[in-house]
Every structure is written in C-alpha cells, then in structure tokens.
Amino acid sequence: MQIGLMVEGQHALNWERWQRFLRAAEDLGFAFVFRSDHFTDAGGPLQDSLECWTSLTYAATATQRIEFGSMVSPVTFRHPAMLARMAAAVDDLSGGRLVFGMGAGWQEREHHMFGVPFYDVPTRHAMLEEALEITERLLRSDTPTSFKGKYFSLDEALMLPRPQRRTPILIGGNGPTKTLPLAARFADEWNAVFVSPDLYRERSALLDRLATERGRDPRSIKRSLMTQIGYMRDENELQRLLNEEQTTLDVLRRDNRIVVGAPPQVIEQLRAFEAAGVQRIMLQWLVVTDIARLEHMAEHVLPHFHG
C-alpha cells in the first residue's frame, strides 16, 4: 500500500507553505500529495488559500517523482470542458503524474461568498454525471465529439494536442446509490472518505459487482482512501493528548475511521486498511507547517510499507 498526504488548500495554505510541503513530501519518500479544491472553510475565520489548479501547475514542475492531484474539483466551480483541458495540460507538464479528482461540490459558504451558483443535491449530482461524460469524451476521443446535456454540451469538440497518456479520473465518495455507480462507469480510481476498514471492504465489494455488471474489469479501478491522521511521535506524547482531551484512543479514532497513535498504533491501523483492499491511503495533514512531525512519520512508518 502506498502512503501519501492530503492537505486542505483553503486551510492556511500559501505559496511558501505549499512549496515547503511539496519539497518535504518528495524528499521524505511519500508517494503522492493531493489537495482539496475549496475557496474557504465551511465555517470559522477566513484563512490563506491557494487556488487548486494554479498550485497543481506549480507542483508539476516543482516535483519530479510524486503523484499529485485534486481531491476533488467541484464541477460547479469550472466548466468541465475547461477542467479537462487544464487536467490534460498539467498531466503532460508533469510527465504523467496527475490524478484528476472530480466531485459534485458540497460547501454552500464558498459558493455564496464568491458568487458561484449552489444547486440542490440532485442537480449537483446530475451535473457531475454530465461533467464526467464530457471529460471522458474529451480525454479519450481522438476524433471530434458532441454531447447535448441539460447542463453541459459539446459540439464537435476536440482537444489538441492530444493528452500524452490516459489521464486518470478519480471519483471520491462512499455513497452506494450515487457515487459508486458513477465510479463503476467512469473512474480509474475510487476514493472512499473517512470510513472504517470493514465499511471500506463492503463498499469495495459493491464496486466490484457494479463494475462487472458494466463489463469492466474491477481490477482496472484503483482503490484508495482519504482519512485524517493524528500522529504522535511516541507513547508519552500520545498519553498527554489523551489526558488533555480526557478521552480514549478508541474515541479519537471514531470507530476506526481516522488514524491516531504513535508509530506502532499507526502501523497497525494502516495494515488494517491495507488488508481491506486499500491500495493507497491519503493521510489528511491538517497543519502544513508541521514538517518535523512529517519527518518523524517518514522515518518510523513509511519503511514498513514502501521498503
């Protein structure tokens, strides 16, 4: 199982911090860095924020090894034809290291703040389905293609130059009736969010069945997970946290949906996700300035998975 990182681009991220974080992730041996595509947090004070695709363009030239991508880009923010063009260009610029995550969008605050229409859930899901159809046609078709939907359309559209490879599309979410059928149809990678190993295994088996019904080989869809990590450098630090919070490790882990502990406990939890079929895990690193703790995890946890 690959171990990588996920940062919230609206959570106090600026150019200095992004540059330092990318350097650290690559130098320390992490496999990838994903970032959210948000304009602001859902609540609380406003913080520094980097626009997602501008920052990914920088990542394409500032790194040489790691994969990177959007986790995930709402189709309400940008027309899907423009998103597809941006994704193909950034993927080519990086030498084929981008993963293109797409989603329906969920945060009302950022839409209203910046004047972006925010629709009801059924509308946003319908928009996502059309956006995925358009994206697949633009990225995969070497001939002009047309599409007429309720929200988006193409008229003999062709992206040139053609992408240098099949830019992978990631669809994130746990929903058995909406998200997983879309993943079975369109995704090169399915990413579950904040679920236990048991639920991950259950949802992954459902995706297998849905993909098979569509005539796809389930093994063609990479399986990943995004979850938060609370990394403690040793047992004493962990115990201080439990005392301060007046809680237990089980409570902090929220029924094994997030990873919390010192290296031995973190490795144990990661092994459980690996056994559930997770091929790569995105660890949400909320304090992007905490490079020292990142270095410690790279030294004491990564060798158990990356060799």
228: which strand partners?
284
Q: Rg of the chain's alpha carbons, rounded to an integer?
A: 19
Residues in the chain: 307
Question: For the CA atoms of 154, 112, 287, 279, what is the dihedral angle to 10 degrees?
Answer: -30
Both tokens of 188, joined, read 């090169």
What is the Cα–Cα distance from 30 to 17, expressed in whole angstroms? 17
What is the Cα–Cα distance from 11 to 233, expressed in whole angstroms? 23
pLDDT given for residue 212 in this prediction: 98
Q: 301: Cβ–Cβ under 8 A, 6 or more apart, which residues?
A: 3, 263, 266, 267, 270
Identify each DSSP E strand in 90-135 by its residue range.
98-103
pTM above 0.85, yes or no: yes
Task: Please list the pLDDT of the chain residue by residue as tens digits (307 residues).
Answer: 999 999 999 999 999 999 999 999 999 999 999 999 999 999 999 999 999 999 999 999 999 999 999 999 999 999 999 999 999 999 999 999 999 999 999 999 999 999 999 999 999 999 999 999 999 999 999 999 999 999 999 999 999 999 999 999 999 999 999 999 999 999 999 999 999 999 999 999 999 999 999 999 999 999 999 999 999 999 999 999 999 999 999 999 999 999 999 999 999 999 999 999 999 999 999 999 999 999 999 999 999 998 6
pLDDT given for residue 154 in this prediction: 97
What are residue 279's phi and psi, to 5 degrees?
-90, -30
Q: 25: Cβ–Cβ under 8 A, 6 or more apart, which residues?
A: 4, 5, 32, 33, 66, 294
What is the Cα–Cα distance from 140 to 168, expressed in whole angstroms? 11
**Nearest Cα to 28, choosing from 211, 285, 300, 228?**
300
What is the Cα–Cα distance from 229 to 232, expressed in whole angstroms? 9
